[in-house]
Structure 1
């Protein structure tokens, strides 16, 4: 399905042309069609420091399932994330990394090392530009 959604936007662009505005223009419509409520660009592309091998980093939020605790909900969320990753990658002609917004906004239950890693990630991304795509 990702191929059909992204095909009208598909374009491999060079590192110098891969600006936050170009990313928004190439990805916004596709992300909305896939049920994305929020999409933010961060990383080397947001810093205008991308090279020809750079991936594109996004924080995303997809419309919630009314029953988020069900096993089917977790499977559906994983499917939607993969579909989004493939569609955005096709739009940009590059590898895409996705971080769920919940990871950034909600503390992990277990605390410990995983929570320390989450906090370090948040600290790092808050020191750089983040662009709202949706």
Structure 2
């Protein structure tokens, strides 16, 4: 038997599906549902285009806020809007009298670029009470 000349069948390449990538282009950040009495608000991030997530059924969305001038951080859960153009914190976030900045956005354990909004100061301002004249 001659084994040296036996042609080896070349394996047929099977196309691998390209996994969906977590892509987020954050265009703005703002506080919504503000309660100046308790100094709480929800943080809303708006994207320049609809957010693409690999696991759309239960995307893991976490935002890290850093207290301005300190090392103190808060990690909060986010909820994706139906149009996928924004995310809002699930619960009200306590700001007290402190100012916070967005330091990190994690989408399914992948860090998104938040450089465009890192310098935005988030603070619940005290209501101005104008005395009646």
TM over 0.5: no
Task: Indicate the structure (1 or 2) with the bigger Cα radius of gyration.
Answer: 2
When normalised by structure 2's length, the TM-score is 0.28
Q: Give the number of the structure with larger relative contact order, counting CA–CA contacts within 8 Å between residues 6 or more apart.
A: 1
Structure number with the higher strand fraction is: 2
